[in-house]
Chains A and B, each alone.
Chain A
Amino acid sequence: QKEVEQDPGPLSVPEGAIVSLNCTYSNSAFQYFMWYRQYSRKGPELLMYTYSSGNKEDGRFTAQVDKSSKYISLFIRDSQPSDSATYLCAMSGGGFQKLVFGTGTRLLVSP
């Protein structure tokens, strides 16, 4: 079993839809949870990160962590074609050291 599971997609949605991206994990030692966005031929860029359980909101993006279920989510409201990218979840036991990544979900937002 992989430490972090993420559906590779692709996930296709129309513009304006609410997008839900998810990851599950097995290591209860993970405390930091990150979401990265990666455009084609670019490196991943950090969208949000949360520590332990709870929600965090930044504009159209909301990250949720449920440690009891070992489940994290990223919600994108009012999705735009420019949101089309691969979204990677990552997590660690301590900050940005030794990140463990999911495979990434490819999101396609059509106009």
Chain B
Amino acid sequence: GAVVSQHPSRVICKSGTSVKIECRSLDFQATTMFWYRQFPKQSLMLMATSNEGSKATYEQGVEKDKFLINHASLTLSTLTVTSAHPEDSSFYICSAESNRQPNTEAFFGQGTRLTVV
């Protein structure tokens, strides 16, 4: 149990276009999901906390107008990178917290490798 699916696993897009990444909890409901980013040779950094039915909470330094987060259901959160630029190329990964056991564990998706050319 506790499977989180992230799609796509890899995406290449042109500079200036937008890219949507999906994060789904397959066998549990998740009121809260988290979005992380990892640049090469750096650690996973929390970008934002996504709450179902409300606005996401962004970490300091993360542009909310550039990284749009939508958490419209208890099993799906999406991250849209708008007007992507090469410096947005990174590994994006989500995690989801089960409603049944809040704040006990957050399960990770497999991540999305974004390359902006």
Contacts and interface: CB of A to CB of B under 8 A. Distances in A.
Given A8-B41, A41-B110, A103-B42, A96 B49 contact: no
Contacts, number: 56
A46 B110 contact: no
Given A102-B43, A103-B43, A95 B104 contact: yes
Most buried by B among A42, A44, A100: A44
Contacts of B109: 43
A13 interface: no
B108 A98 contact: no
A98 B48 CA distance: 9
Nearest to A95: B103
B97 A103 contact: no
Contacts of A101: 36, 43-45
A43 B104 contact: no
B39 to A, nearest CB: 10
B103 A43 contact: no
A104 B43 CA distance: 7
Interface residues of B, number: 24
B103 A4 contact: no
Nearest to B46: A98
Interface in A26-78: 36, 41-46, 49
Nearest to B109: A43
Contacts of A16: none
Contact of A88 (B41, B44, B49, B103): B44
A99 B36 CA distance: 10
B9 interface: yes
A4 B49 contact: no
B97 A96 contact: yes
A49 B109 CA distance: 19
Interface of A: 2, 4, 6, 8, 36, 41-46, 49, 88, 90, 94-104
Given A43-B6, A94-B103, 16 more contacts: A6-B43, A41-B9, A42-B110, A43-B107, A43-B109, A43-B111, A45-B108, A96-B97, A96-B105, A96-B106, A98-B49, A99-B46, A99-B106, A101-B44, A101-B45, A103-B43
